[in-house]
Amino acid sequence: MTDPTASDDWAALVNGIRDDPDNDLRRLVAADWLDDHGCHGRADLIRLQVEGAPHRDWVGLLEQECAALLARFGDRWTFDFERGFIAGVSCAMRVWCGDKCDCEVTDGQNSHVGFRKDCPKCGGKGYHGGIGPAVVRLHPVRELTTDREPTSFFGRQALAWLRSATWDRRDSLPSRIYKRLRRDKTSRCGTTLWAELMPDRAAWEKATSDAAIAWALSEVS
Task: Read off the pLDDT of residues 42-56 as tens digits, 9 standing for 90 and up.
Answer: 999 999 999 999 999
Evaluate whether residue 162 is within a structural domain.
Answer: yes
149: pLDDT strictly greater than 60: no
Confidence of residue 167 (pLDDT cuts 50, 70, 90): low
Residue 154 pLDDT: 44
62 half-sphere exposure, CB direction, 13 A CA radius: 19
Evaluate whether residue 172 is within a structural domain.
Answer: yes
Nearest to 68 by CA among 45, 50, 52: 45
Beta strand pairing status for 99-100 and 127-128?
Answer: antiparallel
Whole-model pTM: value is 0.74
111: pLDDT strictly greater than 70: no
Q: What is the CA radius of gyration of the chain?
A: 20
Confidence of residue 151 (pLDDT cuts 50, 70, 90): very low
What CA–CA distances, in Å, run from 63 to 44, 52, 55, 68, 180?
13, 17, 12, 9, 42
Evaluate whether residue 214 is within a structural domain.
Answer: yes
Q: For the purposes of burial, counting CB atoms within 10 Å of the CB of 22, is it exposed (0-12), middle (13-18) or buried (19 or more)?
A: exposed
Between these two residues, 116 and 188, which has the higher pLDDT value? 116
Confidence of residue 30 (pLDDT cuts 50, 70, 90): very high
Helices 55-73 & 40-50 angle (0-180, nearest 10): 130
Evaluate whether residue 207 is within a structural domain.
Answer: yes
Nearest to 187 by CA among 156, 158, 152: 156
Residue 220 pLDDT: 79
Residue 84 pLDDT: 96
Evaluate whether residue 204 is within a structural domain.
Answer: yes
Number of structural domains, the chain? 1
Nearest to 127 by CA among 161, 98, 105: 98
User: Over the chain, what is the mean pLDDT?
Assistant: 77
Evaluate whether residue 1 is within a structural domain.
Answer: no
Evaluate whether residue 30 is within a structural domain.
Answer: no
Evaluate whether residue 68 is within a structural domain.
Answer: no
* Domain around 194: 149-221
